[in-house]
Structure formats: structure tokens, C-alpha cells
A and B are shown apart, each in its own frame.
Chain A
Amino acid sequence: MRSWSRERSWEVLLALILVGTIAYNATQSDVYLDVDNFVNIFRLSIEKVIIAVAMTFVIVSGEIDLSVASVMAFSACTLAFAYDSGVPFWLAIVLALVAAAAAGLLQGWVIASTGISSLVVTLAGLIGFRGAARVLLEDRSIGDFPAWFGDVGRADFIGPMPFGLVLFLVLLVLGGIVLHRSVVGRRLFVLGDNAEVARFSGIDVARTKVLLFIASAFVAGVAGVLFAARLGSVRANIGEGFELDIITMVLLGGVSIFGGSGTLLGVALAIGIVLNLRNGLGLANVESNTQTGVIGVLLIASVLAQNALDRLPLRRSGADAQEAAA
């Protein structure tokens, strides 16, 4: 065990839990192991998992972005509002994505230039952008999108997988490469570990933070467009409460809330656990709020367990290993 790093042992633990969850669910329902069912499981939560990938980058860097669900709604509402006002649909999509990126730019710039903690700024964003979504759509529900858009959201794209799921898998792989194998990723780990050290090693902290929040918001914007495609209509209150699941997926995946460590593989496994757990509970007719309670327990337990693991003499990878190697 000593040769295993902290991340590796966490991933193994997650893998075991994932297999256990799936195995249990499979005993409760014959159709559980169908490919269709697994696709469905992702289908129902595709926006959350996509945002979770982006959130990993944010938390690894020592920040947090509480506004993601609100930016998602804001972006979807921009799409709906623009389309409803007669803007050509492709342009409405572009506007939605631009709006999301702008939201990220605003938050990132405030965080980088004033030094105010990302918790507070993105909390203001959570409230503010939800408000912006309400200003656009008020309490109306806008739908009637072009048929091809609904197909993108719902129909099979590659094999039995819809477009959203394919996009998620692509993001996961690309994200893994960027986070763990590129200079950019290494910088984020260093930043999360110690912002002062990062500054002294020549990293442009301010610029990195701004780009980080733009990227996070942009992904939230993409999720918003996907949501509109999947559900066929948009309201200002969509995505309320997504933050809990998203943050759970990331923290359960072994990413430290303080920044500086974690793996995307861990997050991927955690995503699998959360989704299968929710689905298994749903099939047992456990109501959604109760499911959320279980997720809450999982969240706290994962940090408690990580604290416990910290006391074991396990090698840490990531920034620490690089310091040791340098």
C-alpha cells in the first residue's frame, strides 16, 4: 500500500463502490444492465456531468464556482429569448454561449483584480445570473425549437448515445489530457496548492484565474444549450439545486476542496457512482429529495474519509511529487 499514492488508493476505493452499486442495482431490476438503461442514466443528468468536468479544473486550482447552474440557466434563457425575439436559431445559440463566457469573464475579472474570494463572487453570480435569467424569461416557458435541435438533444448520435453523452466523453478525455499531461494542468495544480508559489514561478495568476472562470462559465453555457435541446423548452428556474450534485461528484472523486490535488479519473468514477446511486434509488421509487439526502451523506463521508486517509503514510502525486522531484 505504501507504494500506492493517495489518489490511486482513492480511485480503487471508488471503483469498488461503483461496481458494488451497479451490482446491487442489477439484482433489483433485470433490465438494469441494458446499454439503453445506462445511456438513459446519463441522459437524465448529462448537463450536471459535463459541468462537473469543468468544476474539477476550478476546484483543483483552489477556487470554487457556485454560479454554474445559474449561468447554465442564463445561457439557456438567452437562447430562448433571442429565438423568441426572431433571431435566427444558430445565432441564438452563439449568443447563448457568448453570454455564458461573458458571465465567466465578469466573475473572473472581479476575482482576479480585487482579490475577493471566489466563494463570495460566485455566490453573487449564483443569485445575479439566476436573476438575469428571470429578467429575460420572467415566468414564461419558451419552447418550440426547431426539430433538428430536439434531435440533437434526444436522438441517438453515435450508436445508442445521444450527442450530449458523446460530448461528455470527449470532454472527459480531453480534460484528462489537459489536466494531467499538459503544462496548463500542472500550473493549475501548483496554483491550487499555493498561489504565492505559483506567482513566483512565473505563472500569470490573474490571467489564469480569468481564463479559468471563463472556461467554467462557457461549459455551463454549453450545458444550458444542451438542456434546452434535451427538454425542448426553457424556464428561468432550470437547474436549481444542481450545485450539490456537481460538487459532490468532484469532491467524491478525490479532489481536495482546498485545491492542489485530485484526478479526473476519480471524478469520472464518482460521476458513475452518483448517477447509478440516484438511478437505483429512483427505480426503488425513492423520491428525489431523499435521493439527494443520500448524496449529501456521500459528500460528507467522502471528505471525512479523505481526512482519515491523510493520516496514512501514502505518497501524494501532483504538485507535491513535482516539488520532491525538482
Chain B
Amino acid sequence: MRQHKLIAALACLLLFAAACGDDDDTESSSSGSDSGGSAGEAVTIEGGDDMNSILLPKCTGIAVFDQANEGAQEAAEELGTSEPEFLGPSTCEDPTGQIETMTNAATQGVDAVMISNNAGEQIQSGVDAATDADVSVVSWDSPIPSGEGESLFVAQVDFDETGVVMADMALDILGDEGGQLAILSASPDASNQNAWIEAFNTALEDEKYANLELVDTVYGNDDSDESYNQALGLIDSHPDLKLIMAPTTVGIAAAGKAMTDEGLCDQVKVSGLGLPEEMRGYTQSGCAPEFALWSFVDLGYLTYYATYGIATGQFDAVEGQKFTAGRMGEYTIEKDPTRDSGLRIVMGPFTVYTEDNIDD
């Protein structure tokens, strides 16, 4: 078997050197390899070849991932290629489902897997198996921590900025007197939430947030019942709590419901990253005066385009490479400053929702 892999690797290098363009062969390139990718002009991604792919969210049953799927389907239709298979574990609590899907992808011989990583570092074995079988792995929403085997990370926003946005919203809500706040996150293995929480903690060190006190961080595993119970647990163990910051759409909705059910909306506010559709009632009632998000439809769309471009060999995933992804426009691949290694593109802006703009 090792001989097998060696020959395959040699073959890949030969193909590389010959700089062949539009093959059906997929080529996954890791960061830093020298190649024929032109750092100057942007490559316009065009349809034509078919791509078998899997869209692997953290888990199913969460509206934002359904939206990402919508976006990916839209992109596939535009490019005239097969729709991605939307596969995910039914619960966000157990990461082994993602590892299994990733490993199976290698056996199935799909061209690409687009993953929102919920398994932290454990996903590495699955990613290695996939890349060994020439499957392109692109991450979105939540990256692979080591960056190894991953062609590209499609980041919805800059992760460090997320921390500042959350801190600003907290300051807005709590005002100058400040107060106690707690974080209700998703899975403790989720690379994106963990990065945001870290960024949030760093942001809070700044002078202007001096009156904000972060008292606890709990995990709801993106399960609405668990998040609901965790939110209740927070106000039970911290009676002076004034704000629950939930950087996950499941958590913020559950916290909103919990505070509403307890009749505590005047005392304890809820904020974080939420879907306007789910949060409308809570914003109008004053429970969740401010929260933020981006478009998951756009994220899915962009991820599909980028993956398609890489898998069909239209461009190489290297630093400095530019490409145009359909209606989303032009993007440049850069080194990811929030991780030790790995490449990323950053999609686009935050939208901060308040009572005023929530109906848009």
C-alpha cells in the first residue's frame, strides 16, 4: 500500500510540472508549493466539468447550515455541475460522525469535501485519509486547526474582528456602568467559536471595556435543549448576570427563549451571533436588542465556487492567488493570521441587527 501511495505522489508531481489545466483530475495543493498559479490576474471560475462533492456541516437541523446548503446549490446550478451532497451528523455533540464521513469520502472517491469543522483536531485523521485519496478538502465557517490537508479556509469574517464586534455590542448593551456577562458557546471542539471567544477575551483587555466582567463560559453543543438549560444554569449560578453572549445561532435563540420564559428580559439581555428570522420576536420584545451575523447563503455559494475552482484545477490554492467567484466577486488568497498555518479568503461584512433594521 505504501508503494501505491508513492507512485501516486510521483504521478501528481509529474502532472503538476506539466502544468496541465482543465482536467477532470483533481489536484489538491497545500500552501506554499510553487506552481503555475499566476499571482497577477484573477482567474474567473467557469463551469464545464462535473464535480462530485460533499457539503459537510457541523450537524444538520440548524437553519444557518441549511442556508449554506442553499448557497452551495445555487452555485452548483450556475456552474452546471452536480449538486453537493448535504451530509452531516444529526447532533453536534459527537464529532465522530464528521470523521466518519470524511474517511468514507476517501473510499467513495468524491472530488471534494467542504467541511465546517466541529471535531477540532480530531478531524485530522479523516482529512489525511481524504487527501491521500486525492480528495480536495476545503473548510468553511470553522477551519481545520492545523491547516494541514486543507486547501483553503473560506472565512465568513475575520476571526479577530469577531471578538471586537462582540465586545462592542456588549458595551453598547451594558453601557458605561458595565456589568457581568457570560458566554454560551457551541461545542468545546468548535474551532470557529473557540477562536472567537479567544478574540473576545483579548478584545476585552482594552481599557474601554474595563467595566465588563466575563464570569463564565459554558457550552451548549448547538443543541437547543442543552443550550436552554445552560442559559438557565448561568442565571442560577450568577444572579447578578446582565448579559448572555452567544456566538452561535442555536445558543442565542435558546438563551432568548430561556430569558423570556423566566420573565427576566429586563434584567438579562441576550446577544451574539443570531439569525434575524429566529431572533425577530426577541429583538422586538427587547430581550435581544443587538446581535450580528453574515449571510450563510453567500458563504455556501462562495465556498462552492472556490472548491470547484480548486478541484477542477482552474487555480491553485496558494498565497496571492486571485479568483472571481460568480456573483460574489473577486477574492485574494492570503495567509490566515489567526492560525499558525493555513490559507484563507475572507468573505464579507458583518451585519449588526437591531430593532431598526431587523425587518429588512
Interface on A for B, CB 8 Å cutoff?
A: 29-32, 35-37, 40, 44, 139-141, 143, 154, 160, 230-233, 235, 237, 240-241, 279, 282-283, 285, 287-289
Contact = CB atoms under 8 A, between A and B. Distances in A.
Contacts of B188: 139-141, 235
B35 interface: no
Contacts of B125: 154, 230-232
Interface string B139-181: 0000000000000000000000000000000000000000000
A259 B60 CA distance: 41
B213 interface: no
13 contacts: A37-B107, A40-B103, A44-B96, A139-B219, A141-B189, A143-B120, A231-B122, A233-B122, A237-B94, A241-B94, A279-B104, A287-B89, A288-B89
Interface in B177-203: 188-189
B37 interface: no
A250 B304 CA distance: 44
Q: For this complex, into which size category does the number of interface residues on chain B fall?
A: 20 to 34
Nearest to A36: B1
A301 B93 CA distance: 30
Contacts of A283: 104, 107-108
Contacts of B121: 143, 232-233
A290 B266 CA distance: 44
B35 to A, nearest CB: 28
Nearest to B125: A154
A31 B121 CA distance: 27
A235 B219 CA distance: 13
B90 interface: yes
Interface in B224-264: none
A97 B124 CA distance: 26
Interface string B60-104: 100000000000000000000000010101100110110111011
B197 to A, nearest CB: 13
Given A37-B107, A139-B219, A288 B100 contact: yes
Contacts of B1: 35-36, 160
A67 to B, nearest CB: 19
B146 to A, nearest CB: 11
A237 B91 CA distance: 13
B43 interface: no
Return the 10 tightest CB-CB contacts between A and B, nearest first: A231-B122, A139-B219, A141-B188, A282-B104, A289-B90, A141-B189, A288-B97, A139-B188, A160-B1, A31-B107
B99 to A, nearest CB: 8
Given A40-B107, A40-B129, A288-B100, A232 B122 contact: yes
A160 B129 CA distance: 14
B109 interface: yes
Contacts of A160: 1
Nearest to A39: B1
B214 interface: no
Nearest to A32: B107
Contacts of B90: 287-289
Contacts of A235: 188-189
Nearest to B133: A31
B218 interface: yes
Contacts of A288: 89-90, 97, 100
B130 to A, nearest CB: 12
Nearest to A137: B188
Output the residue of A29, A32, A231, A232 with the most chain B CB within 10 A: A231
B107 A287 contact: no
A233 B122 CA distance: 7
Interface in B111-128: 120-122, 124-125
Contacts of A32: 107
Nearest to B185: A139
A148 to B, nearest CB: 16
B109 A44 contact: no
Given A29-B107, A31-B107, A232-B125, 18 more contacts: A29-B108, A37-B107, A44-B96, A139-B219, A141-B188, A160-B1, A230-B125, A231-B99, A231-B122, A231-B125, A232-B122, A232-B124, A233-B122, A237-B94, A240-B94, A282-B101, A283-B108, A288-B90
Given A29-B108, A139-B218, A233 B85 contact: no
Nearest to B218: A139
A288 B109 CA distance: 20
A269 to B, nearest CB: 23
B189 A285 contact: no
Contacts of B103: 40, 44
Given A141-B120, A232-B122, A232-B124, A31 B109 contact: yes
B100 A282 contact: yes
Contacts of A29: 107-109
Nearest to A236: B188
Contacts of B94: 237, 240-241
Contacts of A232: 121-122, 124-125
B100 A44 contact: yes
A140 B219 CA distance: 9
A30 B100 CA distance: 19
A207 to B, nearest CB: 38
Nearest to B5: A36
A16 to B, nearest CB: 25
Contacts of A30: 109
Contacts of B85: 285
Contacts of A154: 125
A285 B87 contact: yes
B85 to A, nearest CB: 6
Contacts of A31: 107, 109
A227 to B, nearest CB: 10
A36 B89 CA distance: 24
A232 to B, nearest CB: 6
A154 B124 CA distance: 11
Output the residue of A32, A35, A139, A230 with the most chain B CB within 10 A: A139
A141 B219 CA distance: 11
Contacts of A139: 188, 218-219
